[in-house]
Chain A
Amino acid sequence: MDATFRLWRSEPGGAGALTDYKTPVSEGMVVLDAVHRIQAEQAPDLAVRWNCKAGKCGSCSAEINGKPRLMCMTRLSTLDLNKPVIVEPMKTFPLIKDLVTDVSWNFSVKKTIQKFKPRQPDAPDGTWRMAQKDIDRVQEHRKCIECFLCQDVCHVLRDHGKHDEFIGPRFLLYAAQLEMNPLDTADRLHDLKDKHNIGYCNITKCCTVVCPEHIKITDNAIIPLKERVVDRFYDPVTRLLRMFK
């Protein structure tokens, strides 16, 4: 059976167009397989970023039929192959070529978040003790594979282009796992409020919906952080108490 894939192809000078490629498909294939086949047989200079092909590295992020997804984890059997499958690059980041975007902004954002700062070790041999139940949530957050699909879908970045003011769901999650790490002693709440503008997030939960690791980004990371910020800076009782301190 053949299926048609409508891929974004760049042209020199910044223009581009969706281009149709027909290629044979078989049982169990994912979108990335089809893209690779097209690359090997019809479009050798096609640009596509990928690595592990098992949903663990977060390299092959794209928009498939308009939805932010990993190409390696999107099975063709879940798509209507009677229509062309549309594969486009992520729209929130500058395009480099074809399906590849410049995601370097994300790497520079991370540097603005205060790094992990552990408390003094608990034992004389320099080690710590932690209960599993105290780190379950942190481990959920640390499952993030940095595919940046949550950044892609976040309307604060995608529609409003607030890249200079807002760090996006990925890095709110990053800050959350540091804040919730039982060993960590740094305080990131002030930065979250004023520098990273956590207030811009109006919890539409789009990031949670697209997360390929099924991390509950909004409920388990962003909302708890918002609560901490509110408790610290806006709770009237706390404010009153602070005035008399």
Chain B
Amino acid sequence: MATHQTYNYDVLVIGAGGAGLRAAIEAANAGVTVGLICKSLLGKAHTVMAEGGMAAAMGHNDDRDNWKVHFADTMRGGQYVNNWRMAEIHAKEAPERVRELEAWGAVFDRTPDGRINQRNFGGHRYPRLAHVGDRTGLELIRTLQDHTVYLGVTVHMEHTVIQLLMDGGRASGVVAYDRERGRFHVFTAKAVILATGGVGRAYKITSNSWEGTGDGHALAFRAGAELIDMEFIQFHPTGMVWPPSVKGILVTEGVRGEGGVLKNSEGRRFMFDDIPDNYKPQTASDAEEGWRYVTGDKSARRPPELLTRDHVARCINREVKAGRGSPHGGVFLDIAWIKEKISDGEAHIKRKLPSMYHQFKELADLDITTTPMEVGPTTHYIMGGIKVDADSQMSSIPGLYAAGECASGINGANRLGGNSLSDLIVFGKRAGEYAAEYAKSSGPIKANDTEVDKAIKESLAPFDRGGRVENPYKVQEELQDTMQSLVGIVRLEDEMKEAHNRLQGYKERWTRVGVSGHREYNGGWHTAIDLLNLLNVAEAIALSAIERRESRGGHFREDYPDKVAEFGTFNIMVKQAPGGGIQVSRLPLPAMPAELRQVVEEQQQ
């Protein structure tokens, strides 16, 4: 039997981004013992990359805002395949969660009357994003991190989870290894919360860090949990396109919220050329009105650059394909032009978008206060994930919870910018609360030794094969190329089937990947282990995308370019089939109560 150390907690949280930290805080406050496992150092999770802000209908900058408008905006953005109950909870609870952060030390930008300032963002009817310049994610994670360290939560940094443990049909803990030394650890817990973030590393061009390998999605899937909406991936319209080494790094939507405009190589603001019908009544008719909107004129409508991300990404894609792109295959995003409109334009840009200024200056040697940026779509976020109960965040496995990006439901077919940070704190809190309650009321669990030994043995197999067989980095790179070119922004049945075929090949090669060296901080070994998760999620994405024969939100099919009403009545669900493989099915959407339907209708105008 392999040697390992064992830890026991009431609640175990996997992931220390916004959702994981918020869940840990809530569980600790409920008086249970809490362990927190994260793949990186504390405070480095991908949440730090969130820039623009967190959406909460506090109405500080426009008192017409309230939860109903936020709810309707979220449903419209998600093309009505969202879980209505999650969208409702989110819109109602986000303001309280944001205020709570201030009580824990977050320092948001202020309005002239001293309240939390809110900014405009794509798809949000009113200025709604509480923010700190363009580094809101850093503020969120640091606030939660600093609050957590005083609560007695035990943090296990740089640990990777390789397997979820089950005890009689119920989650009972995990097997993990620490990346620093390569030793194995068993964590038993009465409730396990997955807060592992996204899957961006399944694609070549992504804003995600190495951590975004879909670990929570894959761990849950392999344990038998149900995933939904895996076809809905958000390609953020504005990632850096040059230099090559930074391709994909995010350029915040805040640039457009502050007045940045998109232009093609002919200097045309092409976003005015294609405004979807359901957004026409809310969209500015000309550049002048758009500028008035971003400067706070309540009678003006928003510029088309602030349409939803899926739409803006496709428009950029179209311009590039039509040969009207920028020199490095993107389009131009110009914020420098606002200097024509305001006297202290340069200082204003640096104050409102400090990290964008810094990022372009240092990585691309470009001054955004004088020169337009080149931008193009980048894989940013997955709307799909673990199917959870809207109120408690429990998955289809008892005792297993999920929150944040790895959970699914709130966003439907497309997430609005700013709804992610608020999702993390609203549902992170709920997951922590309900998991603690479950842990208190449920009986003891134990780790299954056979399961533990098997997981450890399998994860060590790459060392037995040595470094001269399949290189894990190589297989990962090919998988990313395949997903990028065949299951990307614009999708076709044949291409996706080809991707699925290739994935079977990578799966076979995965059984042959080998690594050299020893277990201490071995990048090759880590990549080999993460690869299995990527394979699981890539296949789930491809099969779900094949099944949805229409275009909706983040999922665009060239062979079925229109939205089909019938497909608006269900989510696509995947789960592991008995004996391996993936079972794809259609899960009817729960009916929306009459009063919420009315809210949606009232907000249509």
Interface residues in chain A, defined as those with a beta carbon under 8 Å from any beta carbon in chain B: 12, 26-30, 33, 39-40, 44-59, 73, 75, 77, 96-98, 100, 102-104, 107, 110-111, 115-116, 118, 121, 126-132, 135, 138-139, 142-143, 145-146, 177-178, 181, 183-184, 213-214
Rounded to whole angstroms, the CA-CA distance of A77 and B250 in the bound complex is 22
Rounded to whole angstroms, the CA-CA distance of A103 and B40 in the bound complex is 12
If A28-B242, A115-B150 touch, does A57 touch B48 (CB 8 Å cutoff)?
yes
If A52-B49, A116-B104, A139-B107 touch, does A59 touch B245 (CB 8 Å cutoff)?
no
Q: Are B521 and A55 in contact (CB under 8 A)?
A: no
Rounded to whole angstroms, the CA-CA distance of A242 and B359 in the bound complex is 50
Q: Give the residues in chain A near B517, CB-CB below 8 Å.
A: 44-45
Kindly identify which residue among B48, B117, B135, B146 contacts A110, using a CB–CB cutoff of 8 Å: B146
If A57-B209, A115-B146, A129-B115 touch, does A142 touch B132 (CB 8 Å cutoff)?
yes
Q: Give the residues in chain B near A98, CB-CB below 8 Å.
A: 521
Q: Are A145 and B48 in contact (CB under 8 A)?
A: yes
User: Which of the candidate stretches B29-37, B221-229, B522-530 sits at the interface with the other chain?
Assistant: B522-530
Q: Are A56 and B138 in contact (CB under 8 A)?
A: yes
Rounded to whole angstroms, the CA-CA distance of A181 and B209 in the bound complex is 32
If A27-B243, A116-B105 touch, does A107 touch B209 (CB 8 Å cutoff)?
no
Q: Give the residues in chain A near B210, CB-CB below 8 Å.
A: 50-51
Q: Are A55 and B520 in contact (CB under 8 A)?
A: no
Interface residues in chain B, defined as those with a beta carbon under 8 Å from any beta carbon in chain A: 40-46, 48-49, 99, 102-105, 107, 109-110, 113-117, 132-133, 135, 138-139, 142, 146-147, 149-150, 155, 157, 180, 209-211, 242-246, 249-250, 354-355, 358-359, 362-365, 467, 471-474, 477, 515-518, 520-525
Q: Are B363 and A100 in contact (CB under 8 A)?
A: no
Q: Are A142 and B44 in contact (CB under 8 A)?
A: no
Query: Quick one: which of B132, B157, B180 has the most chain A CB within 10 A?
Result: B180
Q: Give the residues in chain A near B522, CB-CB below 8 Å.
A: 44-45, 47
Kindly identify which residue among B42, B142, B245 contacts A142, using a CB–CB cutoff of 8 Å: B142
Q: Are A55 and B358 in contact (CB under 8 A)?
A: yes
In the complex formed, the residue of A with least CB distance to B137 is A56
Rounded to whole angstroms, the CA-CA distance of A39 and B474 in the bound complex is 11
Q: Are A56 and B49 in contact (CB under 8 A)?
A: yes
In the complex formed, the residue of B with least CB distance to A107 is B42
Q: Are A44 and B467 in contact (CB under 8 A)?
A: yes
Q: Are B44 and A57 in contact (CB under 8 A)?
A: yes
In the complex formed, the residue of A with least CB distance to B208 is A52
In the complex formed, the residue of A with least CB distance to B50 is A56
In the complex formed, the residue of B with least CB distance to A25 is B245
In the complex formed, the residue of B with least CB distance to A147 is B44
Q: Are B105 and A178 in contact (CB under 8 A)?
A: yes
Q: Are A56 and B40 in contact (CB under 8 A)?
A: no
Q: Are B149 and A129 in contact (CB under 8 A)?
A: no
| Shortest CB distance A102–B (Å) | 8
Q: Give the residues in chain B near A39, CB-CB below 8 Å.
A: 473, 523-524
Rounded to whole angstroms, the CA-CA distance of A59 and B142 in the bound complex is 14
Kindly identify which residue among A54, A59, A131, A181 contacts B41, using a CB–CB cutoff of 8 Å: A59
If A39-B523, A104-B157, A181-B105 touch, does A55 touch B362 (CB 8 Å cutoff)?
yes
Q: Give the residues in chain A near B109, CB-CB below 8 Å.
A: 132, 139
If A56-B49, A97-B521 touch, does A33 touch B245 (CB 8 Å cutoff)?
yes
If A30-B245, A33-B245, A54-B359 touch, does A111 touch B467 (CB 8 Å cutoff)?
no
| Shortest CB distance A128–B (Å) | 6
Q: Are A118 and B103 in contact (CB under 8 A)?
A: yes
Q: Are A129 and B133 in contact (CB under 8 A)?
A: no
Query: Quick one: which of B104, B113, B114, B525 has the most chain A CB within 10 A?
Result: B114
If A96-B521, A129-B115 touch, does A75 touch B362 (CB 8 Å cutoff)?
yes
Q: Give the residues in chain B near A97, CB-CB below 8 Å.
A: 180, 520-521
* Chain B interface mostly: loop
Q: Are B518 and A51 in contact (CB under 8 A)?
A: no
Q: Are B521 and A54 in contact (CB under 8 A)?
A: no
| Shortest CB distance B528–A (Å) | 9
In the complex formed, the residue of B with least CB distance to A30 is B245
Query: Quick one: which of A12, A26, A45, A116 has the most chain B CB within 10 A?
Result: A45
Q: Give the residues in chain B near A121, CB-CB below 8 Å.
A: 103
Q: Are A29 and B209 in contact (CB under 8 A)?
A: no
| Shortest CB distance B461–A (Å) | 16
Q: Are A131 and B114 in contact (CB under 8 A)?
A: yes
| Shortest CB distance A16–B (Å) | 12
Q: Are B363 and A181 in contact (CB under 8 A)?
A: no
Kindly identify which residue among B41, B142, B518 contacts A45, using a CB–CB cutoff of 8 Å: B518
Rounded to whole angstroms, the CA-CA distance of A194 and B182 in the bound complex is 39
In the complex formed, the residue of B with least CB distance to A142 is B107
Rounded to whole angstroms, the CA-CA distance of A185 and B414 in the bound complex is 43
Q: Give 6 closest A-B pairs by Cβ, nearest first.
A: A28-B243, A45-B517, A129-B114, A44-B524, A47-B521, A116-B105
Q: Are A56 and B41 in contact (CB under 8 A)?
A: no
Q: Are B107 and A138 in contact (CB under 8 A)?
A: yes
If A12-B518, A26-B244, A100-B180 touch, does A45 touch B99 (CB 8 Å cutoff)?
no
| Shortest CB distance A52–B (Å) | 5
| Shortest CB distance B482–A (Å) | 17
Q: Give the residues in chain A near B363, CB-CB below 8 Å.
A: 28, 30, 54-55, 73, 75
Q: Give the residues in chain B near A118, CB-CB below 8 Å.
A: 102-103, 105
Could you give 21 example pairs across A and B, Cβ below 8 Å? A28-B242, A33-B245, A44-B524, A45-B523, A53-B249, A73-B363, A96-B520, A96-B521, A98-B521, A104-B157, A107-B149, A111-B149, A116-B105, A127-B115, A130-B110, A131-B110, A135-B110, A138-B107, A142-B139, A146-B142, A183-B102
| Shortest CB distance A237–B (Å) | 33
Rounded to whole angstroms, the CA-CA distance of A58 and B45 in the bound complex is 11
Rounded to whole angstroms, the CA-CA distance of A118 and B101 in the bound complex is 11
Rounded to whole angstroms, the CA-CA distance of A148 and B135 in the bound complex is 19
- 14 more A-B residue pairs beyond the given contacts A132-B117, A139-B133, with a C-beta to C-beta distance below 8 A: A29-B243, A30-B245, A30-B246, A44-B515, A44-B517, A44-B523, A45-B517, A47-B522, A50-B209, A104-B157, A116-B105, A127-B115, A138-B107, A146-B43
Q: Are B209 and A45 in contact (CB under 8 A)?
A: no
| Shortest CB distance B39–A (Å) | 9
Query: Quick one: which of B142, B147, B363, B521 has the most chain A CB within 10 A?
Result: B521
Q: Are A53 and B107 in contact (CB under 8 A)?
A: no
Query: Quick one: which of B147, B211, B355 has the most chain A CB within 10 A?
Result: B355
| Shortest CB distance B267–A (Å) | 25
| Shortest CB distance B473–A (Å) | 4
Q: Give the residues in chain B near A55, CB-CB below 8 Å.
A: 358-359, 362-363
Rounded to whole angstroms, the CA-CA distance of A73 and B365 in the bound complex is 11
Rounded to whole angstroms, the CA-CA distance of A138 and B117 in the bound complex is 16
